[in-house]
Amino acid sequence: MEKTTITIPSSFTRLIREIGKLVDKLVEYRFRFLLVISGSDPIKLSVLAAKAVNYYTKKYKSRSKSRAIRGLYVYHDEFPDALKLKETFEKKTSSENLVEFEYTVYERSEKYLGTTVQVLVMDLTRDLKPNDVGRLVGIVEGGGLIVFLTPPWINWDTYKTIFKETLTVPQYPEPRHIFITWFKKKLLEHDGISIY
């Protein structure tokens, strides 16, 4: 198997350092922070996400009273790219041993209602369902980190997702691209969100 090396862009390193500077305030005021990482290369997405999670949790651990940091990684196991993304992320985060991650699929997301984690990573590269986002974002405690992994930002609106396919009917086989466009607009409007 060929081993590829991913170079972390300096712009991404600067971004996570800036986020790291905010951890004191995020923990003190119990604000969650959302980082959106978009791109088409699953390996690069997972390496960037792992770098962000590892950096954030080092800062978080030193500022918060939490001894154990729990994380949840949610993905679609029916896609090879999603599996590759998850496996690479798991390898990169487990080597640092900062977060006790649980890995699950979206079909089991209801199980996590009423639980609390400090880090949530959602692989949205193949699908974005409103219920999944609503259920899962709420389980992250104040001061925690949420990471969305998305397709390339520019093309995301028109990506055919599992959710969009369920909305089509024979008379209208082409889904309307409304929800993701609205979702992106909301991400851009609100504070406490960084998009890379």
Which domains, ranges and CATH numbers included, belong to the chain? 15-195 (3.40.50.300)
Instruction: Write down the pTM of the prediction.
Output: 0.91
pLDDT at position 1:
45
Quick check: 61 pLDDT over 70?
Answer: yes
Residue 70 host element (H or E) = strand 70-75
Quick check: 158 pLDDT over 60?
Answer: yes
Q: Nearest-CA neighbor of 31 among 14, 19, 46, 43?
A: 19
Lookup: tokens for 177: 């691209």
Residue 124 host element (H or E) = none
pLDDT at position 4:
63
pLDDT at position 171:
82
d(CA 125, CA 40): 8
d(CA 94, CA 156): 30
